[in-house]
Chains A and B, each alone.
Chain A
Amino acid sequence: MKASPKEIKIMQKMQPGTITLSGFLGNDKRTLNEIIEDDFRLLNALEFTPEEIADRMQYFTDKSWNAFTDEVLIDDIYQVETEVVRGKLPCPFGHVGIYRKAITKFTNTRKNISLSWTSLNIHLIRAHGFFEGKGSSFRLEPAELVNAIFDR
């Protein structure tokens, strides 16, 4: 599918070196809408909405926020630490909003899965259903993410 002019504009902001060092699309050959639609289908099959996932990620980020850079054990299973760097990042969709340079490192100790996400990732999932392109350093595979953050 061909990307629309609006999509092209957003994809330009997602290129390496524009907002972040390596960009948001990785080596994914799909258009932005294709990436979002494919992940949306995956989520549907998993019976989760982007909001539910973003809420759960925010829950862990908030709980570990109070521990500054320390690792905390949440609900006896999840080992989480959030590191905040001074400064903020804008959303590549041109959305009015700015997001902390905060990285949450997360481990589900029972399933032995480790993942990282930033405050911007939570926003991109909640507001845009965007989990980043394949090959991006911050790509979150929906199935792996759901498996890691929900205890089921």
Chain B
Amino acid sequence: MILVILKDIATLCSISGVLAIILVIAHRFLNDYGIVKININGKKDINVKGGNSLLSSLADNKIFIPSACGGRGTCGACKCGITKGGGPLLPTERPLLTKEELITNTRLACQVKVKSDIYINIPENIFNIRKFNSKIVEIIDYTYDIKGVTFKLDAGEKIDFKAGQYIQLITQPYAKMRQSVSRAYSISSKPEEDDRIQLIIRYVPEGICTTWVHQQLKVGDEVSFTGPYGDFFLRDTDADILFVAGGSGKAPIKSILDHLQVVGTQRRMTYFFGARSKKDLYLTEEMKAFESVFEYFRYEPVLSQPKAEDNWDGKTGYVMPFLKETIRDPQNTEAYLCGSPGMIDAVSKALIAAGIAKDKIYFDSFG
């Protein structure tokens, strides 16, 4: 009897074993798209192994499409035009695309799978985006939850970026994290210092990347990033400038000011920095020092809830009420904003009400 049962089990096992092998082979076969072609801007073909996302297929070929969320389909930064191929639009793409983008066949490169030949259009400046390896050379505690971290590029490497742009920091596995993620951070150092970059990173409780930066990274550690990305940079005009920032939003503005100090400017500039209380202020002396560097520059920290012990005699409340009085000519004023999405909304509304054209208000739009 036992022998019969064992024989039956053995037969079943061999049948399921054969079935499993067939399934594995079928899976391999069905997911083997072979080598497929990506045609870029009608000018250049690259051959890739089919089946991966357009974003990662391009990255494997050192073409880095912006991706503020690291390819999770949540930021919309990886939009690119597809003229042929790419398969049908996916439900994950729809929420991030405008009506116009839907009509013009704009897609999210991180969601599109390259299963057959595909023809894409991407801006030429994307070819300037590269992957960099670096070593941490300095970590400064700016506040209780904000650190300035400087990354020195490998010997001989240089990064060519515009003041105000951002990079994508790539984390390494740590603690329970078994995979890498990438997150966007604005560069806070000036483009003239092209063998290194500084980032200003604010700790987010239970945040994957910021916990890694704040609790794991130390001077001497090797870190990779890609970049530069973004079109938040100073426009080359002679218009008056309003900078408005909060929290870690100081980073790109610092880069722009450091750059202007090198190249010189006659532009009239006012910089409002919104914070809650004195413990959230940082780099105040450095920003104030620009008042004696530039012809016309004013740095105005504004505290919304100063504490009694702060002995604060500066501006209080939110920055919005102070904007109008600093605008000389709304037709000839540009605003550069960096901070939380709520702050950007409120400040944009106040600026538009003060007569500044919407297209003269600049900020990173994937907040």
Alpha-carbon gap, A86 to B339, bound state (A): 8
Are the CB atoms of B340 and A69 closer together than 8 Å? yes
Are the CB atoms of B366 and A86 closer together than 8 Å? yes
Given the interface contacts A84-B341, A86-B341, A100-B341, does A22 sit within 8 Å of B204 by beta carbon?
no
**Does A141 reach chain B (CB closer than 8 Å)?**
no
Are the CB atoms of B341 and A89 closer together than 8 Å? no
Are the CB atoms of B177 and A68 closer together than 8 Å? no
The residues of B that contact A82 with a CB separation of less than 8 Å are 342
Alpha-carbon gap, A134 to B318, bound state (A): 39
Summarize A's interface: helix, strand, loop or mixed: loop
Say which one of B4-12, B22-30, B90-98 lies at the interface with A: B90-98
Given the interface contacts A16-B177, A66-B346, A96-B94, does A138 sit within 8 Å of B73 by beta carbon?
no
Among the interface residues A20, A65, A71, A88, which one has the most CB atoms of the partner chain B within 10 A?
Answer: A88
**Does B183 reach chain A (CB closer than 8 Å)?**
yes
Are the CB atoms of A86 and B367 closer together than 8 Å? yes
Are the CB atoms of B204 and A101 closer together than 8 Å? yes
Are the CB atoms of A68 and B246 closer together than 8 Å? yes
**Does A52 reach chain B (CB closer than 8 Å)?**
no
Alpha-carbon gap, A101 to B72, bound state (A): 14
Which of chain A's residues has its CB closest to B91's CB?
A96
**Does A87 reach chain B (CB closer than 8 Å)?**
yes
The residues of B that contact A103 with a CB separation of less than 8 Å are 205
With an 8 Å Cβ cutoff, the count of chain B residues facing the other chain is 40
**Does B176 reach chain A (CB closer than 8 Å)?**
yes
**Does A85 reach chain B (CB closer than 8 Å)?**
yes
Alpha-carbon gap, A22 to B69, bound state (A): 18
The residues of B that contact A98 with a CB separation of less than 8 Å are 73-74, 95-96
Binding site for A on B (CB under 8 A): 68-69, 72-75, 91-92, 94-96, 175-179, 183-184, 202, 204-208, 211, 246-247, 274, 276, 304-305, 318, 340-343, 346, 364, 366-367
Q: List 18 A-B contacts (CB under 8 A).
A: A17-B175, A20-B206, A21-B208, A23-B176, A65-B342, A68-B274, A68-B342, A69-B340, A70-B276, A83-B340, A85-B340, A86-B367, A87-B69, A87-B74, A87-B367, A96-B91, A96-B94, A101-B204
5 tightest A-B CB contacts, nearest first:
A16-B176, A17-B177, A86-B367, A88-B74, A98-B74
